[in-house]
């Protein structure tokens, strides 16, 4: 199993638009083979909660995650999200044991 932490810094006043984009994308991702979790989150800190969205993901393997990245709906997501965010950072981790 792997975990993916994808953190996006949003452009000003883009939280609602990103939420709408994620509302369309999340069900498609959850239906993918190997997807165990795909949860968009906002910061708890009031100062940054409208500035960042972090997607917490769990995948059965690195291969299923790579297949996810190659799907048409993720290409569409990346294109649309690129207009709504300043940047993004992705970390992929695995359990220690």
Residues 6, 85 contacting (CB under 8 angstroms): no
pLDDT digits (tens, 9 = 90+) for 10-68: 999 999 999 999 999 999 999 999 999 999 999 999 999 999 999 999 999 999 999 99
pLDDT digits (tens, 9 = 90+) for 53-92: 999 999 999 999 999 999 999 999 999 999 999 999 999 9
Region class of 44: left (phi > 0), else alpha (psi between -120 and 50), else beta: alpha
* Per-residue model confidence (pLDDT) at position 51: 96
* Per-residue model confidence (pLDDT) at position 20: 98
């Amino acid at each position: 199993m792997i975990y993916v932490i994808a953190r996006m810094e949003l452009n000003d006043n883009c939280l609602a638009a990103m939420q709408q984009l994620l509302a369309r994308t999340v069900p498609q991702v959850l239906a993918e083979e190997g997807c165990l979790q795909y949860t968009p989150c906002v910061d708890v800190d009031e100062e940054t909660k409208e500035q960042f969205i972090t997607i917490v993901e769990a995948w059965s393997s690195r291969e299923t995650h790579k297949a996810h990245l190659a799907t048409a709906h993720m290409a569409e997501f990346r294109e649309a999200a690129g207009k709504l965010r300043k940047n993004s950072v992705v970390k992929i981790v695995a359990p220690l044991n």
